[in-house]
Amino acid sequence: MARITVGDVLVDGLARAGASRVFTAPGAPVPLVAAAHRRALDVVATSDTASAGLLAAVSGEIGDGPGAAVAGLADAAGLVRGLAHAQRDRAPLIVLTGGGADTGLMAPVVKATILVEPASAGHWIVHAAHLAMADPRGPVHLAVRPDALDQPALAVAASCRRAPLPPSTPESLDALADAIEGAARPLLVTGLECGPDDAKWIRAFAEALPAPVLATPKGKGALADPHPLALGPLGAGHPALARADLVLLVGVDAGELPPSALPAGTRVARIGRGGWHGSALVAEALGELALVIEELAPRVRARPAADWDVAELDRIKRAAGRHAAATPEGRLVALAREATPAGTLATADVPALAAWQSVRPREALSPLGTPTPGYAVTAAVAAGLAHPDRHVLAFTSPRGLAAGETTLALAVARGLSVVVVVLGAIEEDVRARLERPGLLALVSGGEAGFATDFSRALLARRPSLVAVRPGA
Q: Would the pTM count as exceeding 0.85? A: yes
- H/E element, 328: helix 328-339
Buried b (16+ CB within 10 A) or exposed e, 386-420: bbeebbbbbbbbbebbbbbebbbbbbbebebbbbb
Question: What are the tens digits of pLDDT across the range 220-272?
Answer: 999 999 999 999 999 888 999 999 999 999 999 998 988 788 998 899 999 99
Q: How confident is residue 431, by pLDDT bands cut at 50, 70 and 90?
A: confident
Close Cβ partners of 243 (under 8 Å, ≥ 6 residues apart): 185, 308, 312
In the three-class reduction of DSSP (H, G, I as helix; E, B as strand; rest coil), residue 308 is classed as coil
Question: Which amino acid type is present at position 364?
Answer: A
Cis preceding linkage at 136, omega within 30: yes
Reported residue count of the chain is 472
Q: How confident is residue 159, by pLDDT bands cut at 50, 70 and 90?
A: confident
Domains of the chain and any CATH numbers? 6-148 (3.40.50.970), 170-313 (3.40.50.1220), 325-468 (3.40.50.970)
Q: Which residue from 67, 146, 94, 164 is spatially nearest to 379, judged by alpha carbons?
A: 67
Question: What are the tens digits of pLDDT across the range 57-97?
Answer: 999 999 989 999 999 887 878 889 999 999 999 999 999 99
How far is 309 from 293, CA to CA, in rounded Å?
A: 24
Taking CA 232 as the corner, what is the angle to CA 165 and CA 465, rounded to the nearest 5 degrees? 95
Q: How confident is residue 1, by pLDDT bands cut at 50, 70 and 90?
A: very low
Q: What percent of the chain has pLDDT over 70?
A: 97
Provide mean pLDDT across the span 420-439. 80
The whole-chain average pLDDT of the chain stands at 91
- Report pLDDT for 100: 64
